[in-house]
Chain A
Amino acid sequence: MFGPKIKLDRALFEKVKKYSELAGYSSAEEFVTHALEKELAKLEDASSEEEIKNRLKGLGYIS
């Protein structure tokens, strides 16, 4: 709650607020945290995930 703060453009914040409610998040903060975690996870695992996807998704059994 008292952690570092990040400034957001007002218009973007309004959008975040609107869509976080629509998507079922309990607050805009929760939505932003989740979005950032997802993006960071992507960067951290980008190469290995890409490799895994390529290797496995060609299997007929998996979409």
Chain B
Amino acid sequence: MLQSIHRSFVGLLILTLLLSACSSLQRVPYRKVFILGIDGLDPVLLRRFIDQGRLPNFQALAQKGHFKPLRTVMPPLSPVAWSAFITGMDAGGHAIFDFVHRDPKTLLPEFSISKAIPSDRSLAIGSWVLPLSGGRVELLREGKPFWQLLQEKGIPTTVFRMPVNFPPQGEGRALSGMGTPDLLGTPGTFSFFTSSPAEGTRDVGGGRIATVQVRDNRVEAKLRGPGNPYRRVEQPDGGHRNPELDLPFEVFLDPQEAVAKFLVQDQEFILKEGEWSEWIRLEFEAVPYLSSISATARFYLQRVRPQFRLYVTPLQINPREPVMPISQPEGWSAELAEELGYFYTQELAEDTKALSSGVFDAKEFWVQSQSVFAEQKRALEHLLKDFDEGLLFYYFSGIDQISHMFWRYMDPEHPGYEADQDLKDGIRTMYQQMDEVVAEILKKLDDDTTLIILSDHGFAPFYRQVNLNSWLHDRGYVKFIRPKPRGPQPFFQNVNWRGTTAYALGLNGVYINLEGRERDGVVAKGMDYADLLERLEEDLLSMIDPANGLHPISRVVRSRRDFKGPFLDQGPDLIVGYSRGYRSSWESPLGDFPADLFLDNTDAWSGDHSIDSRLVPGVLISNRKIILEEPSLVDLTVAVLDEYGIQKSPEMVGQDCLGPVE
């Protein structure tokens, strides 16, 4: 009996001890890793500005932690580089080889990041078409993103504006970034209204220009919206198109002052000349009283008179009522808009096209870019407030975009150089602003948090354009249907495919017109293919620019030889690495054949990085020791997994580049 009481007592004691241990054992929060992705941050410029004492926070971090150039990928384009970091694989594994690839069946260029799959079931009543099942957008990047591996272990993740993540993948929180279209399905199409007939009504790359009339100090105009998904109009060729929705609005000009009142649907606002509106909500009515497509835009009253000039931003997917999947969970974009107000949802929102087409001057572009930067800073502050465990990735686009557009102001050797006392320091100012962001981050992170700052590539000047397709024609690789074509002929319109052995498409790709793969392939697999690759590589590397005797190409990568993975066949056969100062021409990537082989680049887009990857490494800074001599983007993927004790997947090609916690 006593023994039994004793046993019960001991049992009770053990149970009590266990319970008390459990109650005092709260779950240990997951380790915090903060990754700051700064697109286009260049190690040489960063070092130069640090040495000038202009970046005290980067300097402190680099001294306390570690700073090294980060090896990037071929070609060093953002979608390709970020995909490598996301998956830990090269392009053979993640299938993103360029911004643009070709459909081998049509030989037409296509956008590489995502594609829209239209609704396959619909009910047509006259010209009205009612979709019975929704269409969708498909991300074309292959491979599992590293944050999904973390999520599988229960680690909370927030991935903010990661490029090539539209629609967002995984189960954690995410907002899509580069690759997210505007409401028209483009990377961004601004609207510009002018009363100057000389400017004409025309579409320019990335924008639509419309002439308007000022009558009795009043302007009537229309914003052109997306196609109406519920209506269909037959075309002469038997196909169909969705007629465009539009949204009329009015502007009343003050007869004396440089001020105007806007009436946009039920919203009224007043702008002074040179002033920007807040975000304005727009509803494109698709079915009267039943269905509308929601968007947002900002209006910039550039000039009231003598010529009226009005710029409207690309139509944004309204984050409160997104018509496309821009966030994960789906409702997160609306929550963010509740906290932060409306924001740019399109991919790179700095309007480089408005500057290139002359709608903006450089100072206006700077102001618009600063508004994008201010939004990105505000969102970061918001996310840092509740960052208490797991992984947070955050992306900034400003340095990349300003480096593209302002290089010519700091480089007297540039063919488009313009002396301007303010703009010459534009790139440096952007670096300094990012330095202030780093200061804010350092204030908010504790010492136990791993901080990783990385960029996908660096930067170089873009002095000379190479018309690679024209060069391929001159060397006999491309044959024309008709000789001596005049004027623009994009999309290989004049190409005789039966006589063509190789063609260029995208910024760095060269494809062999391979039998059995391309629509009109003529090059046999096996020795013919191998010999052609050999000859072509040699030819490309021997190319000489007669203007200066330089070799415009310093490296050629072969996808099937140099990459790994199941998607080698989707990419170009050769990837061209241009020398510093060179790049593909403006026309060649979409299959055009301008007369000149080499040209100066005088466009406002004056810096670039689509060259030999060895010449434009990115940046890696961390408060952890960088243990590899030459770390690369794919090594960093493995390092992030290792922070949580997760082994790399067998298909990942990198190795851990960060040391253990010191």
Chain A residues engaging chain B, CB cutoff 8 angstroms: 23-26, 30, 33-34, 37-38, 41, 43-49, 52, 54-63
Contacts and interface: CB of A to CB of B under 8 A. Distances in A.
Contact of B482 (A34, A43, A47, A60): A34
Contact of B99 (A37, A43, A59): A59
A42 B220 CA distance: 33
7 contacts: A45-B108, A47-B241, A55-B111, A56-B109, A58-B188, A60-B352, A62-B590
Nearest to A51: B185
Contacts of A25: 482, 484
Interface stretch (B231-239, B273-281, B515-523): B231-239
4 shortest interchain CB distances as A-B pairs: A63-B586, A58-B187, A58-B206, A57-B205
Given A56-B111, A60-B401, A61-B608, 7 more contacts: A23-B484, A25-B482, A43-B236, A45-B108, A54-B185, A62-B100, A62-B590
A61 B205 contact: no
A1 to B, nearest CB: 17
Contacts of B239: 47
A8 B648 CA distance: 71
Interface string B236-259: 110101000000000000000000
Contact of A58 (B100, B108, B189, B401): B189
A44 B187 contact: no
Contacts of A30: 482
B185 A44 contact: no
A54 B586 contact: no
A26 B482 CA distance: 10
Given A45-B491, A48-B108, A60 B185 contact: no
A25 B482 CA distance: 8
A38 B206 CA distance: 25
A58 B507 contact: no
B535 interface: no
A24 B239 CA distance: 36
B205 A52 contact: no
A58 B352 CA distance: 9
A55 B186 CA distance: 4
B651 interface: no
Given A54-B185, A57-B206, A58-B353, A63 B237 contact: no
B493 A63 contact: no
B187 A59 contact: yes
Given A52-B109, A56-B109, A62 B491 contact: no
Interface in B585-630: 586-587, 589-590, 603, 605, 608, 610
A56 B587 CA distance: 12
Interface in B452-485: 481-484
Contacts of B507: 61
B271 interface: no
B235 A58 contact: no
Interface of B: 99-100, 106, 108-111, 181, 184-189, 205-206, 235-237, 239, 241, 348, 352-353, 356, 401, 404, 481-484, 486, 491, 493, 507, 586-587, 589-590, 603, 605, 608, 610
Contacts of A63: 205, 586-587, 603
A46 B111 CA distance: 18
A34 B181 CA distance: 36
B481 to A, nearest CB: 7
Contact of B483 (A24, A38, A47, A56): A24
B491 A49 contact: yes
A62 B586 CA distance: 5
Given A47-B235, A62-B205, A56 B348 contact: no
A24 to B, nearest CB: 4
Contacts of B235: 46-47
Contact of A54 (B186, B483, B491): B186
B399 to A, nearest CB: 14
B502 to A, nearest CB: 20
Contacts of A60: 187, 206, 348, 352-353, 356, 401, 404, 605
Contact of B481 (A24, A37, A47, A57): A37
Nearest to A48: B108
A25 B206 CA distance: 35
A47 B491 CA distance: 14
A54 B99 CA distance: 14
B75 to A, nearest CB: 11
A59 to B, nearest CB: 5
A54 B482 contact: no
Contacts of B185: 54-55
Contacts of B181: 55
A54 B486 contact: no
Nearest to B205: A57
Nearest to B483: A24
A52 B108 contact: yes
A7 B298 CA distance: 55
A34 B489 CA distance: 12
A43 B236 CA distance: 9
A24 B482 CA distance: 10
Contacts of B610: 61
A25 B486 CA distance: 10
A9 to B, nearest CB: 24
A63 to B, nearest CB: 4
Given A38-B493, A45-B491, A52-B109, A58 B482 contact: no
Contacts of B241: 47
Nearest to B189: A58
A51 to B, nearest CB: 8
B483 A62 contact: no
Between B99, B181, B205, the greatest number of chain A beta carbons within 10 A of the residue's beta carbon is seen for B205
Contact of B205 (A24, A26, A46, A58): A58
A49 B587 CA distance: 15
